[in-house]
Structure 1
Amino acid sequence: SKSSSWTAAVPSSVKGLLGSCVVIPCSYNYPEPQKSPQTFTGIWYNNDNQVICHSDASQTPAQFQSRTKLLGDLNKKNCSLMIDKLTRRDEGTFHFRIIMEAYAVFSYSKNKISVSVIDEPNPTDFSVQEEVKEGQTVSASCSVFHSCPTYSPSFHWSHSGEQHDQTQKLQNGQWNATSTLTFRSNRSDHNKPLQCSVTYHGGKQRVTSKTLKVKCNEIGTLLNKRQTYTMSNVSRHSIESMYCTAVNEEGRIRSSTVKLNVLCEYKMEEI
């Protein structure tokens, strides 16, 4: 039968973030007629068989007109749909219908997709080497899964550096957005959080952080654990200069030499 050639490819389900958008990837097929149709009309229905999106926007109900949009080119068998400003009322199943003038009308009711709405963004995958050396080039990565490629999440880092953002299409209506930050570590970064802030379309935000541990060479050194080093039994024959050396896992550094002026007290003898 002809209907065996009427097929549509959609994921079985997608999740969208409350207040954001969700894109339903969709492609359809049909038996090729002898003469190619010139006019295509695409319609999406919800589980109540209510029109939620029409390729002729004037035919879309008012409550959906500013929120739903066909993203694909129907002439190229692309029926992808975007639902923006998601609400709880948008949860349910949907299917696509095609009208080809002077050829056929077909509903892909066997290819339904379920849309669910989540309250909070997906967890952020944050990767960075937390223990670094002073002056070392640090590369941090922050990535999230989402279902709104029309308005990809934006990233903001607490540190300045070279930032690169990219988006990758996955399967079943999922996308992965990644931001990579490269910077040079400084001693002032020690024990301070490196934050990655992700802002989603619709305004929701998720902040993730990790604390950096910076190992550094000392530039100011102490002679011992106290602030003052006391020398006893100093005489004019004592060492005239001294210095100290600080040693840690990253190496050693020597302080500048300190000259000692030893003042002696002479007792005058009577003749």
Structure 2
Amino acid sequence: MDVWQWLLFFICICVKVTQTEASSWTIDVPSSVKGLLGSCVVIPCSYNYPNAKVQTFTGIWTNDGNQVIYHPTESKMLEQYRRRTKLLGDISKSNCSLMIENLQQNDGGPFHFRIELGGYNSFSYLNKKVSILMIREPNAIDFSAHEDIKEGQPVSASCSVFHSCPTYPPAFHWSHSGEQHFQAQKLHDGQWKATSILTFRSNRTDHNKLLQCRVTYHGGKHQETSKTLKVKCKCAFLNIC
């Protein structure tokens, strides 16, 4: 094999190794996440890197101008993001999820993640950026309840909302006492559905009363909705109580 053949062989090997290593630097992050102004938002993120003996992990989030919005050393961050951003989970186990609190209009991004692996290598996932779509007010509450009920009958009502901050989910408050059950459902692109289910046994004093559901989001924004209960008496000779 002459010099040129050796050179060609060496170049092919280098290209193959480089391609293999590059393909191992992968990340799973949505292209956009909805966020409620004044509340918090969590950008779900998981990453992979080539197999290596890594000593330390440093996760960093930056904006399009390569300015740091999250770094474990706070002094390296933009001042307006200090004490507002936080990595969730274990960065050494490929969790790069980022939470931003007190969401502001200029927090739209786009942002990208960078991992620095001590004793090995560093990589910026520039091909996978995420933007935050700002929402000024929360979406309407999905409220379900039977309005026409019989005295003594078990009543079930549900109140559901969408949000993007599972670390601090919305709080539900009902105007009627009873047993409450909370459900959290993970959707897609960082969205979650939170549902509160209230069950109680009706009585005649509930007739014409409002059953109200109030939802308070992290940061203080709130909304409410209600329905009027119609309770029919047990007594066969009366239509209502």
TM-score of the superposed pair, with normalisation by structure 1: 0.78
Compute the displacement of 1:205 (Å): 0.4
Partner of 2:226: 209
2:160 paired with 1:170: no
- Whether 1:42 aligns to 2:59 is yes
For the residues of structure 1 that align with 2:180 and 2:150, how far apart are their CA atoms?
A: 21
Match of 2:68 in 1: 51
Letter in 2 for 1:128: A
Aligned AA for 1:105?
S
Q: Distance in 2 between matches of 1:69 and 1:42?
A: 10
Question: In the alignment, which of 76, 95, 110 is matched to residue 78 of structure 1?
Answer: 95
Tell me how far 1:151 sits from its aligned partner: 0.9
The count of residues paired between Structure 1 and Structure 2 equals 221
Q: Report the counterpart of residue 254 of structure 1 in structure 2.
A: none
CA distance in 1, matches of 2:76, 2:87: 13
2:31 aligned partner: 12
Structure 1 counterpart of 2:12: none
1:117 counterpart (134, 143, 146): 134
**1:45 partner letter:** T
Give me the whole-angstrom Cα distance separating, in 2, the residues matched to 1:26 and 1:16. 16
The structural deviation recorded for 1:24 is 0.3
Q: Please, which runs of 5 or more residues in structure 1 have no aligned partner? A: 219-245, 251-271
User: Residue 237 of structure 2 is aligned with which of 234, 239, 247?
Assistant: 247
Q: CA deviation at 1:58?
A: 3.4
List per-residue Cα deviations over 1:186-210 (Å, max 9, x = no partner).
Answer: 2222222110000000100010111
| Matched-pair contact (CA < 8 Å) for 2:67–2:77 | no
- Aligned partners of 2:139 and 2:161 also within 8 Å: yes
Alpha-carbon RMSD across the aligned residues, in angstroms, is: 1.5
- More relative contact order, 1 or 2 (CA 8 Å, 6+ apart): 2
Q: Which has the higher helix share?
A: 2
Counting only pairs closer than 5 Å after superposition, residues 147-186 of structure 1 correspond to structure 2 as: 147-186=164-203
| Cα separation, 1, equivalents of 2:222 and 2:190 | 21
The range that moved more, 16-25 or 177-186, is 177-186
Aligned equivalents of 2:89, 2:44: Cα separation in 1: 9
Are positions 1:27 and 2:17 aligned together? no
Counterpart residue number, 2:14: none
Q: Which runs of 4+ in 1 moved over 4 A?
A: none
Counterpart residue type for residue 112 of structure 1:
K
Gaps of 5+ in 2: 1-18
Task: Give the conservation status (yes or no) of the 8 Å contact 1:196–1:207.
Answer: yes
- 2:237 is aligned with 1:189: no
- Letter of the structure 2 residue corresponding to residue 247 of structure 1: F
Residue 43 of structure 1 and its aligned partner are, at CA, apart by 0.7
Separation in structure 2 between the aligned mates of residue 176 and residue 217 of structure 1, nearest angstrom? 37
Name which of 116, 119, 126 aligns with 2:143. Answer: 126
Could you tell me which amino acid in structure 1 is paired with residue 237 of structure 2? V
Question: Percent of counterpart pairs with the same letter?
Answer: 67
